[in-house]
Structure 1
Amino acid sequence: MPGAFEIVMDERKALVDKIIGMMKQGYFFNKEEWDRASLRPQNPLSKVQYKGGNRLRLMAMVVEHGYKDPRWATARQYSEKGYFIKKGEHGVLCEKWIFEKQKKVKDQNGNVTFETVQLDRPQVSFFRVFNAEQVQDFPGFGRNECPEPEIDTVVDRIIDTSECPIHEIAQDRSFYSPSLDEIYLPLRSQFKDQTSFAKTLLHELAHMTGAASRLNRKFGGPFGSEGYAKEELRAEIGALFTETDLGIPLSGEHYEDHSDYLRSWISVIQNDYNEFFRACADAEKISDRLVSNYAKKYELPFAELTEVPVREHAEEKQEPVRTEEQIR
């Protein structure tokens, strides 16, 4: 019987295969018909927002199954509130890595205390979550919790909270210059619409976060190289996370053709599917920084999900679906 590590690795490969399938069709989470609110997976019971690879995994499930609800929780969490998974529904595996533990130590007086120590090898566990639409009689998601933002206002505020100068000039390309620590964009009138301008802006701001004075990522190589593709993948996922957190529609298009980028990303993650999860982890740091800069100065254009109340009369005969939540 496979252990937790083998199960998690198999699920990682399956997710990357799904993402590669999207890329081969010419898109990466930018379809107009996808509901942006559902792409902010959160747990209304634990107040947790899913991060990194788990976030991308749940976003992919939203796309695959057409869910409109952003709420995910374990069967146990639902059952504690008196709700149960519908028959025939399957959960989505999320992974958890443990890098440290509490160790008992004695001080010079013989008193026992605890200190945090790093594990020589991280331990992996997993659990399964279900979308609220998979739960019997679960309260519906209030659409008014995620009002549509004024895109012009959001774009101006994003620019205002940038950590480097942004220049809009008449040119046919967009880029971040690490040596100058400046962003250069075409004129807004050159974009299809304001949403497309926002999408390109956030992509370049994601690159900006990699400067040594910020998140200190290694910028790599010329266009087409592996190092270049890795940084582009991080910037694109980081921009995607930021778009959903700031409420920007996903239907925008980059100013430049991304077919070449998609092909380069495929080659990187196809050779090493764990690279996709490393990119997701870095992308979460990118998004956290950009959203934090925005939040410090402006109120975010969305409300947090509220906790679901306990039902007075839970169904007595239906058993909750069992989930794996412990280290194996």
Structure 2
Amino acid sequence: MSSSKRTSRDVAAEITDLIIRKLEEGVPPWSRPWRTSGAGGRPLRHSGESYRGVNALYLWALGDAKGYRSRYWMTCRQAETLGGNVRRGESGAISVYYSSFKKRDVHPETGHQVERSIRFLRHYLVFNADQIDALPPYFYAPDEPERPVIPSERQAAIDAFFAAIPADVRHGGNQAYFTPTFDYIQLPSRTAFRSMDLYASVRCHETVHWTGHSSRLARTFGKRFGDKAYSFEELVAEVGAGLCCADLGLPNVLHDSHASYVGHWLSILRGDKTAIIHAAAKAEQAFDYLKSFGANQPEIRQILPVPRAASALAA
């Protein structure tokens, strides 16, 4: 049986409903205090590749809601190839992607045949490793208790990540923001933060805003979000900061000044079921842009090593 299929399920609505529920619970899935073991870090495919975009957000939120400890997700076929089997009665999660087909129509004015491309969401079902028996051991979270991470153990990677980014960062005062007019990031002094980890977390958020400047990714939302465009940009920055923090092994705490946008985010998501997909894509683009500055620096890497899978299986 093919793992991908067309469906009458409203996939975008299902994803949005889960994200809304997590926001209403006060726990945005991308702001979880991600750990470097157990369920911490981005959800992974069976091959060790990270999920991207809205799939990362959705599987993060679902894994949190279900209490899964493993980061790995895979189809039934992939599990079977690895020697595992999905337990009877387990429900799969949705992993989405865009597909397209060509359609030929007659132009109403010229009468000529015209071809247009129509995009639509498709999905396949994946299962968490915690729903699957007999997989190789590395697919399951270790049982040993987590050890606290000493900040200095990751400080080199954090410093290298920010040092490679050519943003103008200024310190002082008691506010954190990015000003597109003058193109600089303002942060309180480092000593004003309870820890260097929290300083780096807030800096991640403002640096994602920096990527949206007209001279860089030129992130605009036009009439689609109207007077809510500013709140939508905050949503993109919060999701993007979550990706940066997860990659660097940092806590991502919803800052007081950002938490005030939660109500606006809920309004946006309820009014447009595809908004979270759009936000996730923009956040992923910003994260990729930031990582590109340090692409040749070995210090900038994920803190958690990705085990090598037995083979690369197609989804």
Question: Is the shorter-chain TM-score for this pair beyond 0.5, marking a shared fold?
Answer: yes
Corresponding residue pairs, total: 283
Structure 1 distance, partners of 2:257, 2:27, is 11
Give the alignment's TM-score, normalised by structure 2. Answer: 0.79
CA offsets per residue over residues 69-117 of structure 1, 9 Å max, x none? Answer: 111111111112222111221110111212478xxxxxxxxxxxxxxxx
Match in the other structure for 2:11: 11
**Residues 30-49 of structure 1 mapped to structure 2, 5 A cutoff:** 30-32=31-33, 34-35=34-35, 38=39, 39-45=41-47, 47-49=48-50
Deviation at 1:208, TM superposition (A): 0.8
Q: Which amino acid in structure 1 is aligned with residue 293 of structure 2?
A: N
Match in the other structure for 2:248: 246
Verify the 8 A CA contact 2:35 2:249 in the aligned structure 1.
no
Match in the other structure for 1:159: 162
Match in the other structure for 1:292: 292
Structure 2 distance, partners of 1:129, 1:21, is 21
| Counterparts in 2 of 1:123 and 1:273: CA distance versus 1, 3 Å | closer
Supply the RMSD in Å over aligned alpha carbons. 3.0
**Residues 166-205 of structure 1 mapped to structure 2, 5 A cutoff:** 166-169=169-172, 171-205=173-207
Structure 2 distance, partners of 1:181, 1:81, is 50
Structure 2 distance, partners of 1:16, 1:219, is 19
Q: Which amino acid in structure 1 is aligned with residue 135 of structure 2?
A: F
> Does 2:134 align with 1:137?
yes
SS of 2:90's partner is coil
| Counterparts in 2 of 1:60 and 1:286: CA distance versus 1, 3 Å | same
> Does 2:111 align with 1:128?
no
Match in the other structure for 1:91: 92
Structure 2 distance, partners of 1:76, 1:132, is 13
SS of 1:307's partner is coil
Match in the other structure for 1:77: 78
Verify the 8 A CA contact 2:98 2:122 in the aligned structure 1.
yes
SS of 1:296's partner is coil
CA offsets per residue over residues 248-279 of structure 1, 9 Å max, x none? Answer: 234x452x433311111111111112111100
Verify the 8 A CA contact 1:174 1:186 in the aligned structure 2.
yes
Match in the other structure for 1:52: 53
Give the alignment's TM-score, normalised by structure 1. Answer: 0.77
Deviation at 1:282, TM superposition (A): 0.7
Structure 1 distance, partners of 2:61, 2:130, is 16
Verify the 8 A CA contact 1:220 1:231 in the aligned structure 2.
no
Structure 2 distance, partners of 1:100, 1:295, is 35
Structure 2 distance, partners of 1:276, 1:124, is 14
CA offsets per residue over residues 96-141 of structure 1, 9 Å max, x none? Answer: 212478xxxxxxxxxxxxxxxx961114321111111111121233
Verify the 8 A CA contact 2:168 2:184 in the aligned structure 1.
yes
Structure 2 distance, partners of 1:25, 1:44, is 30
Verify the 8 A CA contact 1:166 1:185 in the aligned structure 2.
yes
**Residues 12-27 of structure 1 mapped to structure 2, 5 A cutoff:** 12-27=12-27
Q: Which runs of 4+ in 1 moved over 6 A?
A: none
Verify the 8 A CA contact 1:151 1:195 in the aligned structure 2.
no
Structure 1 distance, partners of 2:246, 2:235, is 17
**Structure 2 unmatched ranges of 5 or more:** 103-114
| Counterparts in 2 of 1:217 and 1:88: CA distance versus 1, 3 Å | same
User: Which of 90-99 and 202-211 deviates more?
Assistant: 90-99
Q: Which amino acid in structure 1 is aligned with residue 99 of structure 2?
A: I
Structure 2 distance, partners of 1:180, 1:160, is 20
| Counterparts in 2 of 1:31 and 1:302: CA distance versus 1, 3 Å | closer
